[in-house]
Amino acid sequence: MQSGKLHSMKSHDCHVFMERLLPIALKELLPVHVWKAVTEISLFFRDLCCSTITVKDMERLEKNIAEILCKLEKIFPPSFFNSMEHLPVHLPREARLCGPVQYHWIYPFERFLNHLKPKLVIRLVWRVPFVMRTCVKRLQTSVPTIFSKEWILRHEI
């Protein structure tokens, strides 16, 4: 945390922060009605993301989310919201259709791609000169390019 800002948080870190830490951190800082609304949205996501969820719980979440969003809209200005504000309305139904969210959300894939990133960068750096040479060779001479064939041959790319 530098100068009161959180840095380098992945999406899962933000999600855990919102579910677990935000209600505790804001309890003494905000008016009660604001804190309750923020806590309700945090509890919504915590309940939605638990490892075991019943159909009854999903129906309760589906019924309560509209009220929670209305409370947030009363508190925060319209510029605070974007099109993603509407997304939580659909999440309980998605969980009812697909099962617990940890089996179809993107976090595991995000972690796997982060693991692959160094290997991909090395491969891409190795392939860029080859791709450039191939592209320039295939272009006709009438097509102007930033790098002419002579420049590439002269610099051995």
Provide, rounded to the nearest whole percent, the portion of the chain with pLDDT above 70: 64
pTM, two decimal places? 0.62
The answer to whether 70 and 43 have CB atoms below 8 angstroms apart is no
**Most confident region among 4-18, 81-95, 140-154 by mean pLDDT:** 81-95
Of 156 and 90, the structure prediction assigns the larger pLDDT to 90
- Helix, coil or strand: residue 5: strand
Q: What is the C-alpha to C-alpha distance for residues 38 and 76, in angstroms, rounded to an integer? A: 11
Q: Does residue 75 register a pLDDT over 70?
A: yes
Mean pLDDT value of segment 52-70: 91
Hey, how many other C-beta atoms are within 10 angstroms of the C-beta on 119?
9
Of 118 and 61, the structure prediction assigns the larger pLDDT to 61
> Where do runs of H (alpha helix) occur along 49-106?
55-75, 91-98
Q: Which tokens go with 73?
A: 């809209």
The answer to whether 62 and 93 have CB atoms below 8 angstroms apart is yes
